Structure 1
Amino acid sequence: MRPNARRTTLADIAQAAGVSVATVSKVVNGRGDVAPHTRTRVQELLHQHHYLAPVFRHTEAVESPTIEVQFQGGLKSYVAETLEGIIDTAAESGVSVVVSKASRAPHWARDLVSAGRRAVIAVTSVYTAAHLDELARSGLPLVVLDPLHLPDSRVNSVGATNFAGGLAATQHLLSLGHRRVAYLGGPTMAVCNQARMHGYRAAMEAGGAQVPDAYVRPGEFTYEAGVSGGAVLLGLQDPPTAIFAGNDEIAVGVVEAARVRGLRIPEDLSVVGFDDTSLARMASPPLTTVRQPLREMGGAALRTALRLANGEKAESHHIELATELVVRASTAPPREGTPARR
């Protein structure tokens, strides 16, 4: 701009684009409720006129959309590693990310739009029909990462092959010679838990191994649930020689329950987890577990959210990434006899 030249205003851009000043303001501030062709036209004019916002350059607001990432509960290893994938991919894509705990305050979605958010990624967060309606009214697209419940048809999601993971974990234990294998999982209605449990049951049935009712226990995806549930399983008249846990936190809790009873891992009890978080690698002994590609899942969620925010269609309504069994030191062939019980 020349020293004495008049600064281009929003009104100048609006007149040239044939839209309202309010519409131009929405584009400058990264709002999502602008038609894609209108947004493109306004952005072109902003560049042509070298428009500068009063506080920061318009290119920072227009070209660096902000994605809201919400999660519920504590910032556990699973969430932290998923967030790493989201944040790394955002940095590569020139996208800003704001991480928060899920809020259900009145007009929360409208407040996100007012704050310049362009899409929402939900990690371990539950959205009701009412929440989805508010998001739809606000124009904010939603991507759910590893949904706990079957997502609404309006929701895009990213997950992993939980059934195949449960199948692989149980087949590994059966291949070592275990026949008394139990499943200690998460909430009954959680979609991922159901898929892992069905994979476990399918492997047991294919291997001709019996599954007593007491060998399948739902719970929570927490260390405490692993300690308490593991104690119940190990206290059975015919306790399992191996336990497949619904996640790594449960598995570490099972290891503690075994330690309290004087059992050694894996000599007296084999344990398999799910997720392959840092907990699995730091456990003693290191856990055999099913690897969910958590960082890759986070990256896929970010790319999907960005496509939707730009008015494009997602590549798929549901993206499912492959799981992989990682064998470490917590599994071994069963020893003769049943585990000692105190």
Structure 2
Amino acid sequence: MVDPTSSDRPTMAEIAHAAGVSLATVSKVWNGRADVSDRTRDRVEELLRVHGYRGRRQWHTEAAGTVDVIFSEIDCAWEGEHLRGIEAAAHEAGARVVVSSLDRGETARRQLLQRLRAGRTDGAILATMTAAGPLVAALNRLNVPVVALDPLRAPAGDLLSVDAANFAGARAATAHLLELGHRRIGLVAGLDQLLCSRARLDGFLAAHDEAGVPPDLDLVEHGEFDFPSGIAAGGRLLDRSVPPTAVFAMSDYMAIGVYEAARLRGVSVPDQLSVVGFDDLPGARWAAPPLTTVRQPLREMGALAVRTALGLAGGGVLDTQLVVRESTAPI
């Protein structure tokens, strides 16, 4: 419960607890969103008034304020595509974007928190990282709206998030291979603990179930979402006594690694091995052969994260799309 005698400003989380609603609901009321019942709005507004809540709401004036985009690291095309969408949406809203990466150690983390405590941000996007722990707790104490973009693990509490339809995308990719007649389908999967890996594995299994084709779980290999993992996992699959006729890789980088593993063994794609990726990064169409893959709307995800951080949207899951090119063929 909010303590009205406390000299500290109440946090949005404390207001939510006192009102018996989610943090997202308080954020919607504070930012004037319409999708809240009148009764709930009245209760939250009364608590905001009584307890003198003075969080950041600068985007209702001429300038939209500042959005902090925080990565655990920036080292691949995913982050670049997210940032292109973030920049475009921020420009449209008149907002300033500050990008930080936490891979520079504890000093970088402390400097980030010091700047946030100075009240120099109006929303924070935690991009492709685990949206939990001390950083999220600190942001909540500072009344900073937090959005998880493409989170690695399930976001803490009722944190708003933006993600892609990983399950549906993997199901579509696998169904495509099954429709081409493939029955021994290898899977180059991400790490088990990652949210997207589990959803894509579930989609892979669901497609088999819907087709009445039992999956061969001995043909599942795991690794990082990178090129070396694709080479290693693809090699292990192709070195089996009875190798798969098709491989679904959970990232485009992995898929191109499978291409290389096939090339090293004299296996032709798609004549002897069909390959499907996941992401549709800019280089996928220029691969040899052009890669069949699942398009993640990475730029659109970045744009939605900005609008959510500014209180203009409520997060969500964006659709994926199978893009059929030249790396798959009938068996």
- Mapping of 1:294-309 within 5 angstroms? 294-307=298-311
**Equivalent residue, structure 2, for 1:35:** 54
For these two proteins, the number of residue pairs brought into alignment is 277
2:230 corresponds to: 226
Are 2:199 and 1:202 equivalent residues in the alignment?
no
Instruction: Summarize the Cα distance change of 1:38–1:271 in structure 2 as closer, same or farther, 3 Å threshold.
Output: closer
Give the corresponding residue for 1:54.
Answer: none
Q: Partner residue of 1:94?
A: 94
Q: Per-residue displacement from partner, 1:164-194 (whole Å, max 9, x unpaired)? A: 1011000000111111111111111111111
TM-score, with normalisation over the residues of structure 2?
0.78
Out of 250, 275, 278, the position equivalent to 1:274 is 278
Q: Which runs of 5+ in 1 are unaligned?
A: 1-32, 44-58, 308-313, 335-342
| Cα distance, 1:164–1:216 mapped onto 2, change above 3 Å | same
Cα distance, 1:74–1:228 mapped onto 2, change above 3 Å? farther
Mapped contact 1:288–1:329 kept (Cα < 8 A): yes
- Determine the structure 2 residue equivalent to 1:265: 269
Among 161, 164, 176, which residue is 1:157 paired with?
Answer: 161
> Which deviations, in whole Å up to 9, do the C-alpha atoms of 1:302-322 show, x marking residues without a partner?
000011xxxxxx643x50111
Gap change, CA 1:152 and 1:170, over 3 Å in 2: same
- 1:210/1:236 Cα in 2 relative to 1: closer, same or farther (>3 Å)? farther
Q: Any idea what the Cα deviations from partners look like across 1:115-163, whole Å, max 9, x if unmatched?
A: 6122111211223332221111122221111111011123110011111
Query: Cα offset for 1:203?
Result: 0.8
Amino acid at match of 1:235: D
Matches within 5 A, 1:245-260: 245-260=249-264
AA in 1 matched with 2:54:
A
1:69 matched to 2:69? yes
CA contact (8 A) 2:56 2:122 kept: no
Match status 1:322 vs 2:319: yes
Q: How does 1:1-80 map to 2 (within 5 A)?
A: 35=54, 63-80=63-80
Q: How has the CA–CA distance of structure 1 residues 135 and 38 changed in structure 2, closer, same or farther, with 3 Å as cutoff?
A: closer
Q: Is the contact made by 1:109 and 1:138 (CA closer than 8 Å) also made in structure 2? A: no
Asked if structure 2 preserves the Cα contact closer than 8 Å seen for 1:214 and 1:233, the reply is no
TM-score by length of structure 1 reads: 0.76
Match of 1:179 among 176, 179, 183: 183
The aligned amino acid for 1:185 is A
| Structure 2 unaligned residues grouped into runs of 5+ | 1-51
Give the Cα–Cα distance (whole angstroms) in 2 for the partners of residues 275 and 72 of structure 1.
20
The answer on 1:170 being equivalent to 2:174 is yes
User: 2:127 maps to which residue?
Assistant: 123
Structure 1 position 215, deviation (Å): 1.1
Q: Distance in 2 between matches of 1:268 and 1:201?
A: 23
Letter in 2 for 1:271: V
Q: Does 1:134 align with 2:134?
A: no
Structure 2 CA distance for partners of 1:38 and 1:210, relative to 1, 3 Å: closer
Q: Which has the larger radius of gyration?
A: 1
The answer as to whether partners of 1:245 and 1:272 remain within 8 angstroms in 2 is yes
Deviations 1:63-105 (A, max 9, x none): 1411111222343111111110110111111111111213653
User: How far off its partner does 1:258 sit?
Assistant: 0.6
- Percent pairwise identity: 42
